[in-house]
């Protein structure tokens, strides 16, 4: 089996909204896009055999937590295109980075249900698991994810990333789900290195050495999920992916922040000397890897950890220069700023285990993918305007970082 990302584009009309008042049945309207979920709660499964019959018949139902966020929203779109016989239930709290507009391409889809809720709330989780006839698999994308935010407010990360994962695991165990995929991160490794300190891409067997509250909270969730496999036999798979990029990414993150600032001729903030490197993967390649794991037999993936990466290592400075090149902007917009606390020098992963076992491989080269991403942000001014109109003080501070803390160099 060989699975690679698909790259057909989807045109989304963010201005289109159905008329009428918002009902209390889960429908929501927030200024740009409208998602009308079909929520049909049918109670608990009568037996594990009933759930298995649905699974064997080809019609799976996935609970996608954080499905209105960047990676989760892309995954929901990917799986509905790739497997139209599968159903998707999205559970999302709609915090600052959650956005119903990320699901606008699926508006009116009868096999997509949206529930606004918190993964830390057992009632919300159980309601989601019972929607559309009951979910037989869980993919946990829901998390606080920004390193800088975790430095300012670590408690929020511990609550969502650890307590929320615990709540999901308990509910999934009670219902006997067929697969639980915990979306972790390569941040859990700290600096990519061999046990003797030699720099090399991280392997699944490397020690976890998180260097930020965000990374530590994800490491805690990662190991908690694995413990439910080791202790209770819950069929857990943990994935540790490299840095994602692509459409719908909230512009506090490096690449969309650079794109947004460059579009408005504002300086691009580059931490320290700009030499810190990351491995980059297009979000649709990540989605294809998760699809491969969902399709794999239990003996190949249950209880396993898989790195997901594209072997596309680039420095922060490299990325700033390429964004400016693609937009025809001068390098003089690059501005160096004081380094981040606990800044990891190198993140990179060895994904050979996943490639060898499941035949997955990334399809998008970085330059091509970034050019496509830049074009997407240029074409979706309404989406960006809606995000900026939310008055997220952290985002506005990030955009102004080069102007307030930088020094020409």
Active-site residue flag, 163: no
Q: Are 402 and 335 in contact (CB under 8 A)?
A: yes
Give me the catalytic one of 34, 166, 189, 214. 214
Question: What is the C-alpha separation between 254 and 82, in angstroms, rounded?
Answer: 29
**Please, what sign has the CA dihedral across residues 143, 362, 252, 276?**
positive
The DSSP annotation for 352-374 comes to: HHHHHHH-------HHHHHHHHH
Question: What is the C-alpha separation between 287 and 291, in angstroms, rounded?
Answer: 6
Give me the catalytic one of 118, 187, 285, 302. 187
The DSSP annotation for 39-69 comes to: -----S-S-HHHHHHHHHTT--EEEEETTTS
Question: What is the C-alpha separation between 328 and 318, in angstroms, rounded?
Answer: 15
Which residues, in sequence order, are bridge partners of residue 140? 65, 182
Active-site residue flag, 187: yes
Residue with tokens 């935010």: 149
Q: Are 332 and 402 in contact (CB under 8 A)?
A: no
Give me the catalytic one of 126, 130, 186, 312. 186
Active-site residue flag, 136: no
In this structure, the number of other CB atoms found within 10 A of the CB of residue 208 comes to 18
Tokens describing residue 56 = 């064997």
Look at residues 92, 87, 5 and name the one whose alpha carbon lies nearest to residue 287. Answer: 5
Task: Report the catalytic residues.
Answer: 186-187, 214
């Amino acid at each position: 089996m060989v699975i690679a990302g698909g790259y057909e584009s989807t045109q989304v009309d963010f201005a289109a909204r159905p008329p009428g008042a918002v009902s209390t049945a889960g429908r929501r309207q927030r200024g740009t896009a409208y998602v009308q979920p079909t929520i049909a709660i049918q109670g608990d499964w009568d037996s594990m055999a009933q759930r298995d019959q649905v699974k064997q018949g080809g019609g799976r139902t996935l609970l996608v937590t954080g499905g209105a966020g960047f990676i989760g929203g892309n995954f929901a779109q990917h799986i509905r295109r790739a497997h139209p016989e599968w159903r998707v239930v999205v559970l999302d709290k709609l915090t600052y980075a959650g956005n119903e507009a990320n699901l606008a391409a699926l508006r009116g889809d009868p096999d997509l249900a949206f529930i606004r809720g918190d993964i830390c709330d057992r009632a919300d989780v159980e309601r989601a698991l019972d929607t559309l006839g009951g979910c037989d698999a869980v993919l946990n994308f829901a998390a606080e994810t920004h390193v800088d935010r975790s430095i300012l407010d670590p408690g929020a990360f511990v609550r969502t990333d650890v307590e929320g994962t615990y709540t999901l695991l308990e509910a999934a165990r009670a219902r006997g789900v067929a697969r639980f995929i915990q979306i972790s991160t390569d941040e859990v490794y700290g600096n990519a290195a061999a046990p003797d300190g030699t720099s090399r891409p991280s392997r699944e067997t490397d020690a976890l050495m998180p260097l930020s509250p965000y990374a530590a909270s994800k490491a805690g969730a990662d190991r908690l999920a694995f413990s439910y496999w080791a202790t209770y036999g819950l069929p857990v798979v943990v994935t540790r992916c490299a840095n994602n990029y692509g459409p719908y990414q909230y512009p506090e993150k490096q690449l969309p922040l650079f794109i947004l600032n460059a579009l408005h001729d504002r300086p691009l903030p580059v931490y320290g000397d700009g030499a810190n490197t990351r491995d980059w993967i297009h979000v649709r390649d990540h989605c294809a890897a998760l699809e491969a794991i969902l399709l794999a037999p239990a003996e190949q993936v249950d209880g396993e950890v898989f790195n997901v990466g594209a072997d596309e290592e680039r420095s922060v400075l490299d990325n700033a220069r390429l964004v400016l090149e693609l937009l025809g902007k001068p390098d003089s917009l690059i501005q160096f700023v004081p380094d981040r606390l606990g800044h990891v020098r190198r993140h990179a992963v060895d994904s050979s285990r996943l490639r060898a076992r499941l035949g997955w491989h990334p399809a998008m080269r970085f330059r091509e993918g970034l050019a496509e991403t830049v074009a997407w942000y240029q074409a979706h001014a309404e989406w960006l305007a809606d995000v900026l109109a939310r008055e997220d003080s952290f985002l506005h501070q990030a955009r102004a970082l080069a102007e307030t803390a930088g020094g020409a160099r």
